[in-house]
Structure 1
Amino acid sequence: MTDPTGKGVKTLGLKIGSELHAQFTLVAQLDGISLNDAALRAVELYVTTKRQEPDFAQRATAALEEIQREAEARAGAIQSLFGTDPAEVAEAKPQTTRGRKTAAAE
């Protein structure tokens, strides 16, 4: 199945009980679709349903803010480690060092 967003696809493994698997397989067969397509439809329905919950946007915003705080903390740690702006660290070329020869290698 191709991904319409062009961002690739991910594989998802599920462990489900035998009875639910049998029902899921039967429903997919009756609809004339593969288990993969049925699972994809179920995931899409779940996401759509969750988006409609009254507090979902608030929870998503809180999660985004937490991600931003963590990113800022990590950037600060890098900055303090190198004493410079993280962008400057990314642009800096790594220094190459030569190993010392040992008596056995000479």
Structure 2
Amino acid sequence: MAEPRNGNVKTLGIKVPDGLHAQFALVAQLDNISLGDAALRAVELYVNTKKAEPDFAARAASALEEIEREAAARRGAIQGLFGDEAPAAEPAEQTTSRRQGGAAK
């Protein structure tokens, strides 16, 4: 299990049905680990399972292409506003602020 470095972590809150929570807590207790560690292991297992699916790489490539198309459209819109005097892009900084109006997927 990879350890977070320099505090670069996100908090994830989920709602779990009572019965499943009781089972989850019992399994974690029997493995002598915290619920947080058990949840992290579950997330890692989910990600690794999805990455192993035959069509996952193609779906990820498709999502990346869509991101690039949207970025190009936004870039064009900004250039349309400013012409040749478009402001130079600065490197994005990581932020700890949360998005307003929605939960992460």
Question: Structure 1 length as normaliser, TM-score?
Answer: 0.76
* Cα-to-partner distance string for 1:2-54 (whole Å, 9 max, x where unaligned): 514x5700000000100000000000000000000000000000000000100
Partners of 2:25 and 2:67 in 1: how far apart?
A: 38
Following TM superposition, where does structure 1 have runs of at least 4 consecutive aligned residues deviating by more than 3 angstroms? none
Partner SS, residue 32 of structure 1: coil
Q: Which residue of 1 aligns with 2:16?
A: 16
Question: Percent same amino acid at aligned positions?
Answer: 67
* Cα-to-partner distance string for 1:46-89 (whole Å, 9 max, x where unaligned): 00000010000000000000000000000000000111264xx1
Partners of 1:48 and 1:8 in 2: how far apart?
A: 20
Q: How does 1:67-106 map to 2 (within 5 A)?
A: 67-84=67-84, 86=86, 89-90=87-88
- Size of the aligned set, in residue pairs, is 87
**Structure 2 residue ranges without an equivalent (≥5):** 90-105
**Structure 1 residue ranges without an equivalent (≥5):** 92-106
Opposite residue 65 of structure 2, the aligned amino acid is: E
